[in-house]
Protein backbone atom coordinates (compact mmCIF):
# COMPACT_ATOMS: atom_id res chain seq x y z
CA UNK A 1 0.00 0.00 0.00
CA UNK A 2 1.45 3.39 -0.90
CA UNK A 3 2.01 6.16 1.62
CA UNK A 4 -0.46 8.47 -0.19
CA UNK A 5 -3.25 5.90 0.00
CA UNK A 6 -2.62 5.32 3.69
CA UNK A 7 -2.78 9.09 4.43
CA UNK A 8 -6.07 9.44 2.56
CA UNK A 9 -7.60 6.63 4.64
CA UNK A 10 -6.40 8.29 7.86
CA UNK A 11 -7.97 11.62 6.86
CA UNK A 12 -11.29 9.96 6.03
CA UNK A 13 -11.39 8.20 9.37
CA UNK A 14 -10.64 11.50 11.21
CA UNK A 15 -13.44 13.32 9.41
CA UNK A 16 -15.88 10.57 10.28
CA UNK A 17 -14.86 10.65 13.94
CA UNK A 18 -15.30 14.46 14.22
CA UNK A 19 -18.51 14.64 12.15
CA UNK A 20 -20.92 14.15 15.15
CA UNK A 21 -19.09 16.83 17.09
CA UNK A 22 -19.30 19.36 14.25
CA UNK A 23 -22.98 18.57 13.74
CA UNK A 24 -23.61 19.13 17.45
CA UNK A 25 -21.88 22.52 17.29
CA UNK A 26 -23.98 23.59 14.28
CA UNK A 27 -27.21 22.57 16.01
CA UNK A 28 -26.20 24.44 19.16
CA UNK A 29 -25.38 27.55 17.15
CA UNK A 30 -28.73 27.38 15.32
CA UNK A 31 -30.62 26.96 18.59
CA UNK A 32 -28.81 29.97 20.09
CA UNK A 33 -29.67 32.10 17.07
CA UNK A 34 -33.32 31.04 17.26
CA UNK A 35 -33.48 31.87 20.97
CA UNK A 36 -31.91 35.27 20.34
CA UNK A 37 -34.38 36.01 17.55
CA UNK A 38 -37.32 35.03 19.77
CA UNK A 39 -36.04 37.23 22.57
CA UNK A 40 -35.61 40.15 20.19
CA UNK A 41 -39.14 39.69 18.81
CA UNK A 42 -40.57 39.41 22.33
CA UNK A 43 -38.77 42.57 23.44
CA UNK A 44 -40.09 44.37 20.33
CA UNK A 45 -43.71 43.54 21.10
CA UNK A 46 -43.28 44.22 24.81
CA UNK A 47 -41.99 47.71 24.07
CA UNK A 48 -44.91 48.33 21.69
CA UNK A 49 -47.26 47.19 24.44
CA UNK A 50 -45.57 49.48 26.97
CA UNK A 51 -45.60 52.46 24.59
CA UNK A 52 -49.27 51.82 23.80
CA UNK A 53 -50.39 52.14 27.42
CA UNK A 54 -47.73 54.68 28.36
CA UNK A 55 -49.15 57.12 25.79
CA UNK A 56 -52.67 56.53 27.15
CA UNK A 57 -51.36 57.20 30.65
CA UNK A 58 -49.87 60.50 29.52
CA UNK A 59 -53.29 61.54 28.21
CA UNK A 60 -54.89 60.48 31.49
CA UNK A 61 -52.35 62.52 33.50
CA UNK A 62 -53.47 65.72 31.71
CA UNK A 63 -57.24 65.18 31.51
CA UNK A 64 -58.36 68.77 30.95
CA UNK A 65 -55.99 69.70 28.12
CA UNK A 66 -56.33 66.25 26.54
CA UNK A 67 -60.13 66.43 26.68
CA UNK A 68 -60.07 69.87 25.05
CA UNK A 69 -57.90 68.60 22.19
CA UNK A 70 -59.88 65.39 21.72
CA UNK A 71 -63.19 67.31 21.80
CA UNK A 72 -62.02 69.65 19.03
CA UNK A 73 -61.01 66.63 16.96
CA UNK A 74 -64.40 65.03 17.67
CA UNK A 75 -66.32 68.13 16.55
CA UNK A 76 -64.21 68.37 13.39
CA UNK A 77 -64.99 64.73 12.54
CA UNK A 78 -68.65 64.98 13.56
CA UNK A 79 -69.52 67.76 11.10
CA UNK A 80 -68.89 65.85 7.84
CA UNK A 81 -70.22 62.64 9.40
CA UNK A 82 -73.46 64.33 10.40
CA UNK A 83 -73.85 65.95 6.97
CA UNK A 84 -73.26 62.56 5.36
CA UNK A 85 -76.12 61.08 7.40
CA UNK A 86 -78.40 64.02 6.55
CA UNK A 87 -77.62 63.66 2.85
CA UNK A 88 -78.27 59.92 3.02
CA UNK A 89 -81.66 60.56 4.63
CA UNK A 90 -82.54 63.13 1.97
CA UNK A 91 -81.62 60.61 -0.71
CA UNK A 92 -83.92 58.11 0.99
CA UNK A 93 -86.79 60.60 0.87
CA UNK A 94 -86.11 61.61 -2.72
CA UNK A 95 -85.93 57.99 -3.91
CA UNK A 96 -89.71 57.98 -4.09
CA UNK A 97 -89.68 61.29 -5.99
CA UNK A 98 -87.27 59.93 -8.59
CA UNK A 99 -89.49 56.90 -9.14
CA UNK A 100 -92.55 59.17 -9.40
CA UNK A 101 -91.40 60.51 -12.78
CA UNK A 102 -94.01 59.62 -15.38
CA UNK A 103 -94.62 60.20 -19.08
CA UNK A 104 -98.11 61.01 -20.33
CA UNK A 105 -98.85 59.57 -23.79
CA UNK A 106 -101.91 61.07 -25.53
CA UNK A 107 -103.06 58.78 -28.32
CA UNK A 108 -104.39 60.02 -31.65
CA UNK A 109 -108.11 60.42 -32.15
CA UNK A 110 -109.77 57.36 -33.62
CA UNK A 111 -107.44 54.82 -31.96
CA UNK A 112 -109.57 51.86 -30.91
CA UNK A 113 -109.40 50.38 -27.43
CA UNK A 114 -107.84 47.12 -28.60
CA UNK A 115 -105.08 49.04 -30.39
CA UNK A 116 -104.41 51.04 -27.24
CA UNK A 117 -104.26 47.84 -25.18
CA UNK A 118 -101.77 46.28 -27.64
CA UNK A 119 -99.60 49.37 -27.37
CA UNK A 120 -99.81 49.15 -23.56
CA UNK A 121 -98.67 45.52 -23.65
CA UNK A 122 -95.73 46.27 -25.96
CA UNK A 123 -94.61 49.17 -23.77
CA UNK A 124 -94.78 47.09 -20.57
CA UNK A 125 -92.37 44.61 -22.16
CA UNK A 126 -89.67 47.27 -22.45
CA UNK A 127 -86.98 46.99 -19.70
CA UNK A 128 -86.90 50.77 -19.25
CA UNK A 129 -90.57 50.86 -18.23
CA UNK A 130 -91.87 49.77 -14.84
CA UNK A 131 -95.61 50.04 -15.51
CA UNK A 132 -98.13 51.47 -17.98
CA UNK A 133 -101.55 52.66 -16.85
CA UNK A 134 -104.40 52.77 -19.36
CA UNK A 135 -107.03 55.51 -19.13
CA UNK A 136 -109.93 55.55 -21.54
CA UNK A 137 -111.45 58.92 -22.49
CA UNK A 138 -114.31 58.30 -20.06
CA UNK A 139 -111.90 57.40 -17.23
CA UNK A 140 -109.79 60.47 -17.95
CA UNK A 141 -112.87 62.70 -17.93
CA UNK A 142 -114.06 61.25 -14.63
CA UNK A 143 -110.65 61.73 -13.05
CA UNK A 144 -110.51 65.31 -14.32
CA UNK A 145 -113.99 65.91 -12.94
CA UNK A 146 -112.91 64.80 -9.43
CA UNK A 147 -109.65 66.73 -9.37
CA UNK A 148 -110.72 69.96 -11.06
CA UNK A 149 -114.03 70.64 -9.34
CA UNK A 150 -115.67 71.67 -12.64
CA UNK A 151 -118.22 68.86 -12.66
CA UNK A 152 -121.19 71.05 -13.56
CA UNK A 153 -119.33 72.71 -16.42
CA UNK A 154 -118.23 69.36 -17.84
CA UNK A 155 -121.84 68.13 -17.83
CA UNK A 156 -122.66 70.84 -20.33
CA UNK A 157 -120.29 69.35 -22.95
CA UNK A 158 -121.87 67.49 -25.85
CA UNK A 159 -118.97 65.06 -26.26
CA UNK A 160 -115.85 63.99 -24.40
CA UNK A 161 -112.91 66.05 -25.70
CA UNK A 162 -110.24 63.97 -23.94
CA UNK A 163 -108.19 61.35 -25.86
CA UNK A 164 -107.07 57.92 -24.68
CA UNK A 165 -104.19 58.27 -22.26
CA UNK A 166 -101.31 55.97 -21.32
CA UNK A 167 -99.32 56.88 -18.20
CA UNK A 168 -95.82 55.41 -18.38
CA UNK A 169 -93.70 55.07 -15.25
CA UNK A 170 -89.97 54.51 -15.96
CA UNK A 171 -88.06 51.80 -14.09
CA UNK A 172 -85.95 52.87 -11.11
CA UNK A 173 -82.83 51.70 -12.95
CA UNK A 174 -83.60 54.10 -15.80
CA UNK A 175 -84.82 57.12 -13.81
CA UNK A 176 -81.84 59.41 -14.50
CA UNK A 177 -82.75 62.53 -16.51
CA UNK A 178 -80.70 61.48 -19.55
CA UNK A 179 -82.26 58.01 -19.60
CA UNK A 180 -85.80 59.34 -19.18
CA UNK A 181 -85.19 61.84 -22.00
CA UNK A 182 -83.99 59.05 -24.29
CA UNK A 183 -87.07 56.99 -23.44
CA UNK A 184 -89.33 59.94 -24.19
CA UNK A 185 -87.74 60.39 -27.63
CA UNK A 186 -88.30 56.70 -28.45
CA UNK A 187 -91.93 56.80 -27.36
CA UNK A 188 -92.66 59.76 -29.60
CA UNK A 189 -91.76 57.65 -32.63
CA UNK A 190 -94.83 55.42 -32.22
CA UNK A 191 -97.50 56.13 -34.85
CA UNK A 192 -100.36 55.79 -32.35
CA UNK A 193 -99.02 58.56 -30.10
CA UNK A 194 -100.09 62.12 -30.80
CA UNK A 195 -98.34 63.84 -27.88
CA UNK A 196 -95.83 62.73 -25.21
CA UNK A 197 -95.22 64.99 -22.23
CA UNK A 198 -92.73 64.88 -19.38
CA UNK A 199 -91.76 67.55 -16.87
CA UNK A 200 -88.04 66.87 -16.42
CA UNK A 201 -86.99 70.15 -14.86
CA UNK A 202 -87.69 69.08 -11.29
CA UNK A 203 -85.78 65.83 -11.87
CA UNK A 204 -82.76 67.75 -13.15
CA UNK A 205 -82.89 70.15 -10.20
CA UNK A 206 -83.13 67.23 -7.77
CA UNK A 207 -80.06 65.50 -9.19
CA UNK A 208 -78.16 68.79 -9.33
CA UNK A 209 -78.89 69.51 -5.66
CA UNK A 210 -77.84 65.99 -4.69
CA UNK A 211 -74.58 66.36 -6.56
CA UNK A 212 -73.89 69.72 -4.91
CA UNK A 213 -74.57 68.15 -1.52
CA UNK A 214 -72.16 65.27 -2.19
CA UNK A 215 -69.40 67.60 -3.38
CA UNK A 216 -69.97 69.89 -0.42
CA UNK A 217 -69.62 67.04 2.06
CA UNK A 218 -66.41 65.86 0.38
CA UNK A 219 -64.88 69.36 0.40
CA UNK A 220 -65.84 69.92 4.04
CA UNK A 221 -64.50 66.49 5.01
CA UNK A 222 -61.16 67.22 3.30
CA UNK A 223 -60.80 70.61 5.03
CA UNK A 224 -61.68 69.23 8.45
CA UNK A 225 -59.37 66.25 7.94
CA UNK A 226 -56.56 68.74 7.33
CA UNK A 227 -57.60 70.54 10.52
CA UNK A 228 -57.38 67.27 12.47
CA UNK A 229 -53.89 66.65 11.09
CA UNK A 230 -52.79 70.11 12.21
CA UNK A 231 -54.34 69.71 15.67
CA UNK A 232 -52.69 66.34 16.27
CA UNK A 233 -49.41 67.57 14.82
CA UNK A 234 -49.34 70.60 17.10
CA UNK A 235 -50.21 68.46 20.13
CA UNK A 236 -47.35 66.07 19.39
CA UNK A 237 -44.98 68.98 18.75
CA UNK A 238 -45.68 70.37 22.22
CA UNK A 239 -45.19 66.92 23.75
CA UNK A 240 -41.80 66.61 22.01
CA UNK A 241 -40.70 70.02 23.24
CA UNK A 242 -41.67 69.12 26.80
CA UNK A 243 -39.56 65.96 26.58
CA UNK A 244 -36.61 67.51 24.78
CA UNK A 245 -34.10 66.81 27.57
CA UNK A 246 -35.31 63.23 27.93
CA UNK A 247 -34.99 62.66 24.17
CA UNK A 248 -31.41 64.03 24.20
CA UNK A 249 -30.46 61.60 26.97
CA UNK A 250 -32.03 58.71 25.09
CA UNK A 251 -30.03 59.57 21.99
CA UNK A 252 -26.82 59.82 24.03
CA UNK A 253 -27.22 56.27 25.35
CA UNK A 254 -27.88 54.95 21.83
CA UNK A 255 -31.68 54.85 21.49
CA UNK A 256 -32.84 54.68 17.89
CA UNK A 257 -35.25 57.15 16.33
CA UNK A 258 -37.85 54.39 15.97
CA UNK A 259 -37.64 53.68 19.72
CA UNK A 260 -38.08 57.37 20.58
CA UNK A 261 -40.79 57.92 17.98
CA UNK A 262 -43.04 55.03 19.08
CA UNK A 263 -44.77 56.59 22.15
CA UNK A 264 -45.56 59.78 20.22
CA UNK A 265 -47.12 57.80 17.37
CA UNK A 266 -49.32 55.91 19.80
CA UNK A 267 -50.28 59.21 21.40
CA UNK A 268 -51.47 60.46 18.00
CA UNK A 269 -53.42 57.24 17.47
CA UNK A 270 -55.14 57.66 20.85
CA UNK A 271 -56.06 61.28 20.11
CA UNK A 272 -57.52 60.39 16.71
CA UNK A 273 -59.40 57.33 17.95
CA UNK A 274 -60.88 59.03 21.03
CA UNK A 275 -61.82 62.04 18.88
CA UNK A 276 -63.62 59.70 16.45
CA UNK A 277 -65.50 58.09 19.35
CA UNK A 278 -66.64 61.53 20.53
CA UNK A 279 -67.70 62.36 16.95
CA UNK A 280 -69.73 59.15 16.80
CA UNK A 281 -71.43 59.99 20.08
CA UNK A 282 -72.23 63.52 18.91
CA UNK A 283 -73.81 62.28 15.69
CA UNK A 284 -75.83 59.55 17.44
CA UNK A 285 -77.10 61.93 20.13
CA UNK A 286 -78.00 64.58 17.52
CA UNK A 287 -79.98 62.06 15.45
CA UNK A 288 -81.74 60.82 18.58
CA UNK A 289 -82.78 64.37 19.49
CA UNK A 290 -84.02 65.09 15.96
CA UNK A 291 -85.81 61.80 15.39
CA UNK A 292 -88.87 62.68 17.50
CA UNK A 293 -89.71 65.99 15.76
CA UNK A 294 -89.04 64.44 12.34
CA UNK A 295 -91.43 61.58 13.06
CA UNK A 296 -94.15 64.00 14.17
CA UNK A 297 -93.64 66.04 10.99
CA UNK A 298 -93.79 62.95 8.78
CA UNK A 299 -97.06 61.88 10.41
CA UNK A 300 -98.60 65.19 9.33
CA UNK A 301 -97.82 64.15 5.74
CA UNK A 302 -99.14 60.59 6.26
CA UNK A 303 -95.64 59.15 6.16
CA UNK A 304 -93.74 56.78 8.46
CA UNK A 305 -90.32 58.21 7.67
CA UNK A 306 -87.60 57.82 10.33
CA UNK A 307 -84.12 59.27 10.41
CA UNK A 308 -81.45 56.77 9.46
CA UNK A 309 -78.38 56.31 11.66
CA UNK A 310 -74.71 56.08 10.78
CA UNK A 311 -74.82 52.32 10.36
CA UNK A 312 -72.09 49.78 11.02
CA UNK A 313 -70.09 50.53 7.87
CA UNK A 314 -70.12 54.31 8.33
CA UNK A 315 -69.26 53.95 12.03
CA UNK A 316 -66.27 51.74 11.22
CA UNK A 317 -65.16 54.23 8.56
CA UNK A 318 -65.40 57.10 11.01
CA UNK A 319 -63.34 55.32 13.69
CA UNK A 320 -60.74 54.16 11.16
CA UNK A 321 -60.46 57.64 9.66
CA UNK A 322 -59.91 59.21 13.07
CA UNK A 323 -57.24 56.64 13.93
CA UNK A 324 -55.39 57.12 10.62
CA UNK A 325 -55.55 60.92 10.81
CA UNK A 326 -54.11 60.79 14.32
CA UNK A 327 -51.30 58.50 13.17
CA UNK A 328 -50.47 60.63 10.11
CA UNK A 329 -50.51 63.86 12.10
CA UNK A 330 -48.22 62.38 14.75
CA UNK A 331 -45.88 60.86 12.12
CA UNK A 332 -45.48 64.20 10.33
CA UNK A 333 -44.80 66.08 13.57
CA UNK A 334 -42.38 63.51 14.98
CA UNK A 335 -40.49 63.16 11.73
CA UNK A 336 -39.92 66.91 11.52
CA UNK A 337 -39.17 67.85 15.13
CA UNK A 338 -37.26 64.74 16.16
CA UNK A 339 -34.56 65.47 13.60
CA UNK A 340 -34.06 68.92 15.11
CA UNK A 341 -33.12 67.49 18.53
CA UNK A 342 -29.49 66.39 18.76
CA UNK A 343 -27.52 65.91 21.98
CA UNK A 344 -25.12 68.76 22.64
- The C-alpha atoms of residue 281 and residue 279 are separated, in whole angstroms, by 5
Task: Name the residue ranges covered by the structural domains of the chain.
Answer: 46-96+205-338, 102-199
Look at residue 133 in the predicted model and tell me its pLDDT.
84
- The C-alpha atoms of residue 112 and residue 132 are separated, in whole angstroms, by 17
Look at residue 109 in the predicted model and tell me its pLDDT.
78
Look at residue 14 in the predicted model and tell me its pLDDT.
45
Look at residue 338 in the predicted model and tell me its pLDDT.
73
Look at residue 26 in the predicted model and tell me its pLDDT.
46
Cross-strand pairs, 193: 107
pLDDT along the chain (344 residues), means of 10: 47 47 50 65 68 74 84 92 84 59 80 83 85 79 62 60 80 73 82 77 73 87 91 87 80 77 86 93 90 77 72 89 91 79 66
Region 102-199: CATH code: 3.30.70.3040
Look at residue 17 in the predicted model and tell me its pLDDT.
47
pTM for the structure as a whole = 0.62
Burial 127-160 (b: 16+ CB within 10 A, else e): ebbbebeebebeebebeeeeeeeeeeeeeeeeee
- The C-alpha atoms of residue 3 and residue 260 are separated, in whole angstroms, by 68
Amino acid sequence: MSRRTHRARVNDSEEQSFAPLNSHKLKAGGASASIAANRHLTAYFVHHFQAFFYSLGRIWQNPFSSLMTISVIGIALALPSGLHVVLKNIQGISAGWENAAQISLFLKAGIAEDQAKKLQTSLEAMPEISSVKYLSPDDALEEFRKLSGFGDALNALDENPLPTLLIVRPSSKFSAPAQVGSLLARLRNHDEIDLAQLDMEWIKRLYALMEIGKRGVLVLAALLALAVLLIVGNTIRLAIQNKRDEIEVQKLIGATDAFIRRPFLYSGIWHGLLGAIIAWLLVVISLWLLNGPVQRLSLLYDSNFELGSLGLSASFTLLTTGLLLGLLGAWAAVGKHLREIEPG
